[in-house]
Structures are given as structure tokens and as C-alpha cells.
């Protein structure tokens, strides 16, 4: 059908534009005095038919944490492998734009991109996101809902990203995703729910 063809074409355009959007976010942030680049690393567990534990690393930048508009861009990778494989790597990218609505709360959204590379196959997905962020001087919680772009396999659900200040420029970072998805190749019930959690140390270069 024509609408399905148009939907696939628009989805393909969104996938191609995700790295460009992330680059724009980085460039805008680097041109501001409110820029806060960061890097982190840690360990995680995965319940989505992936092996655990896995290890991850990210680099990113925040901009406008004291102003009415907050922008964040991030890219990273992890070693989570589908069950039965041991040579996969997942590359990720994400970006959000949030507007302040109260002293401690922001609302907004963005995108989340993920691509798994293995010796047998590659698999990539992109999600638009919407959510809210709570922040204080020592604590920040960014809750984004990953909106599915298809009805089969695509994960959907909340991704919670928490940061807690430890000392000087070091922060504890914890991310928890609780996802549901549908497998059309299975007999009913074909809907599944699982979770991903990782823990790491984040350092802010500012």
C-alpha cells in the first residue's frame, strides 16, 4: 500500500538524519560557554536475549543546564552480544532538547539510535523519544519514553538515566530501560517485557 511505502521512506530518512542531528547538537554546544563535555564507562546487565555482563563507554556534551533550553548529545558503544554470539558490538547515539517548566523540571524529547554489528548480521533501530527531566545541584534524572516505529520487534518503553554527584567532577551514572516488544513469529502470547541496566562512573570536563 502507498501509505506503508511512504512510512518506510520517512523512517529511512529519520535513520539517516540521526547522526547529522547529533553532530548539529555537538556543534551548537561547543560554541557556548555553558558547554559541559563528559565521558563515562561501566558495566551492565541485559535481559533482552543478550549476554551479561557487558561493558560500555560513552562521550557526550550538555549545553544550557542553567538556561531555559537544555540540549544533550551523546554517542557510545557496548559489548552486549546476542545469545550465541561473542563478537558483536552495539553503537548508540542519542540527543534531547528540553525546555524548563519549573525550577526543577524540564519537558522535551529527541531521538535514540542503536546499531548492532556482528560477524553474521547487522541490525539497527531508531526511536523518537518524549519525556521529562528532574534536576538539582547534585542529582539529575532524565526519563525518556522510546516510541516504537514499527509493530514488530521494535522495543518501546521508558529509559531512565540517573546521575548523582560524587566528588569534584565525578558522577555515578545509572541507566535502566524497561521495554516491551512483539515477536510476530511466535504463537500467542508474542508480547515480551524485559529490562536493561548499567552502572558507571561519569567525568565532566569543565
| Domains by residue range for the chain, with CATH | 2-204 (2.40.160)
**HSE-CB of 181 using CA atoms within 13 angstroms:** 19
Give the pLDDT of the chain (206 residues) as one tens digit per residue: 444 444 455 555 555 555 565 555 555 545 555 799 999 999 999 877 777 899 999 999 999 888 899 999 999 999 887 767 777 788 999 999 999 999 999 999 999 998 887 766 667 789 999 999 999 989 999 999 999 887 666 788 999 999 999 999 999 999 999 988 776 666 666 777 889 999 999 999 97
Amino acid at each position: 500500500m502507498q501509505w506503508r511505502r511512504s512510512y518506510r521512506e520517512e523512517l529511512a530518512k529519520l535513520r539517516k538524519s540521526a547522526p547529522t542531528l547529533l553532530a548539529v547538537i555537538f556543534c551548537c554546544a561547543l560554541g557556548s560557554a555553558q558547554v559541559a563535555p563528559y565521558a563515562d564507562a561501566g558495566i551492565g546487565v541485559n535481559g533482552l536475549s543478550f549476554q551479561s555482563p557487558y561493558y560500555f563507554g560513552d562521550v557526550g556534551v550538555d549545553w544550557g543546564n542553567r538556561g531555559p533550553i537544555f540540549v544533550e548529545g551523546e554517542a557510545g558503544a557496548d559489548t552486549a552480544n546476542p545469545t550465541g554470539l561473542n563478537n558483536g558490538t552495539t553503537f548508540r547515539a542519542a540527543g534531547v532538547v528540553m525546555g524548563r517548566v519549573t525550577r526543577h523540571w524540564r519537558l522535551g524529547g529527541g531521538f535514540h539510535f542503536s546499531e548492532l554489528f556482528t560477524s553474521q548480521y547487522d541490525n539497527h533501530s531508531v526511536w523518537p523519544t518524549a519525556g521529562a527531566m528532574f534536576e538539582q545541584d547534585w542529582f539529575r534524572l532524565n526519563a525518556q519514553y522510546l516510541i516504537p516505529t514499527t509493530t514488530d520487534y521494535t522495543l518501546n518503553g521508558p529509559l531512565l538515566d540517573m546521575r548523582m554527584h560524587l566528588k569534584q567532577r565525578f558522577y555515578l551514572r545509572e541507566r535502566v530501560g524497561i521495554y516491551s516488544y512483539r515477536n510476530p513469529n511466535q504463537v500467542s502470547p508474542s508480547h515480551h517485557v524485559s529490562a536493561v541496566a548499567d552502572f558507571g562512573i561519569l567525568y565532566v570536563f569543565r
